[in-house]
């Protein structure tokens, strides 16, 4: 059984027991969290597709911790002038443990 949820402008395929990294949320570690934007649900005998979301479906999990993504570097260079700039960025992420998929 799995579902596709949308959060932070991105879509994630989740199953019970998965730990996913999503855009940073303001919830504290250990708090329960519920995703109600379920786009797709599939089990052994049932397949449901939302238009765009499934009514009454939700994915339940809990916040594990907050972390940072790997550093991404970007550079700017202009020829013949000696102009060089390098910037780094680390995206803030939240790890969420998925515990249950409920479809009503």
**Model pTM?**
0.86
pLDDT, position 104:
79
Short-list 15, 40, 38, 35, CA closest to 23: 35
d(CA 52, CA 98): 22
Q: In the numeric block, which tokens belong to residue 78?
A: 């202009």
The residues, ordered by sequence, that sit 6+ positions from 104 with a Cβ below 8 Å of its Cβ are: 55, 56, 57
Tens-of-pLDDT digits for all 104 residues of the chain? 999 999 999 999 999 999 999 999 999 999 999 999 999 999 999 999 999 999 999 999 999 999 999 999 999 999 999 999 999 999 999 999 999 999 97
């Amino acid at each position: 059984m799995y579902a596709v949820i949308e959060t932070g402008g991105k879509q994630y395929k989740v199953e019970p027991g998965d730990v996913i990294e999503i855009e940073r949320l303001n919830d504290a570690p250990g708090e329960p969290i519920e995703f109600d934007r379920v786009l797709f649900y599939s089990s052994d005998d049932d397949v449901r597709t939302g238009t765009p979301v499934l009514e009454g479906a939700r994915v339940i999990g809990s916040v594990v911790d907050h972390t940072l993504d790997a550093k991404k570097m970007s550079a700017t260079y202009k020829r013949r002038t000696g102009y060089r700039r390098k910037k780094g960025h680390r995206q803030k992420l939240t790890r969420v443990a998925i515990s249950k998929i409920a479809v009503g």
